[in-house]
Amino acid sequence: MDAADMGRDLSNVLISEDELQTKIKELAGQIDADYAGKDLLIVGVLKGAVMIMADLARALHIPVQMDWMAVSSYGAGTKSSGVVRVLKDLDTDIANRHVLVVEDIIDSGLTLSWLLNNLQSRNPASAEICALLRKPDAVKVPIDVKYVGFDIPSEFVIGYGLDYAERYRNLPFIGTLAPHVYGGE
Ligand code: XMP
Ligand code: MG
């Protein structure tokens, strides 16, 4: 799927496919250096982190294991509540392991802050976060994100794993939606 396939539904491309891929190689370079000689488990947060996990894992030169978690923080509303439910837990015992959580986007930061606390209670050797995107509100929660791809404005974005009503995850870029898609004019 690309911009042409979206027609009038696309408002604009915020981060192009090239920019994404360049940034991911840069992040992979830092992770390669930081975890050289260590045994690393990368944990993707379903479903949004599928694309960044797939590209980041292939851009790394160090060998890694991959696992997945699915969490839900929204209940009925559209804002993070901070109350997180684990829908799918790790298959891996992370005690004494180096863990890097890979996430698509940090908005309020509540989801990741809960997740990091949860993982830390399992006594990993280390637990860090890599987020492709970060919105300005994330600064309100004292959460240490070791790797960030892009700081973006506080607007709803889609593509490259991110969805609106489960659609547009398979775009190779990050974009914004035209208002009519949300039921606006
Ligand atoms: P918090 O607020 O807890 O939430 O940091 C992070 C989660 O919120 C979702 N999210 C978005 N999903 N476009 C999306 O498709 C967005 O612009 C957006 N902002 C937040 C996402 O699931 C993320 O994991
Ligand atoms: Mg997510």
What is the number of the ligand 1 atom nearest to the C-alpha of 82? 3
Chain segment 144-153, per-residue pLDDT in tens: 899 999 999 9
Cβ-in-10-Å burial (0-12, 13-18, 19+) of 124 comes to middle
Cβ-in-10-Å burial (0-12, 13-18, 19+) of 61 comes to exposed
CB-proximal residues (5 Å) to ion ligand 2 = 48, 104
Give me the number of domains the chain comprises: 1
d(CA 175, CA 145): 23
pLDDT band per the 50, 70, 90 thresholds, residue 75:
low
Range of the domain at 144: 18-153
41, part of any domain: yes
12, part of any domain: no
Mean pLDDT on 5-24: 95
d(CA 120, CA 83): 17
Q: Catalytic residue at 107?
A: yes
Question: What pTM value is reported for the model?
Answer: 0.93
161, part of any domain: no
96, part of any domain: yes
Find out whether the beta carbon of 163 lies less than 6 Å from any atom of ligand 1: yes
For residue 55, the domain's CATH number is: 3.40.50.2020
Per-residue pLDDT for 183 more than 80?
A: no
Per-residue pLDDT for 123 more than 70?
A: yes
Chain segment 86-101, per-residue pLDDT in tens: 999 999 999 999 999 9
Residue 105 CA from chain centroid, whole number? 5
Find out whether the beta carbon of 176 lies less than 6 Å from any atom of ligand 1: no
Chain segment 32-44, per-residue pLDDT in tens: 999 999 999 999 9
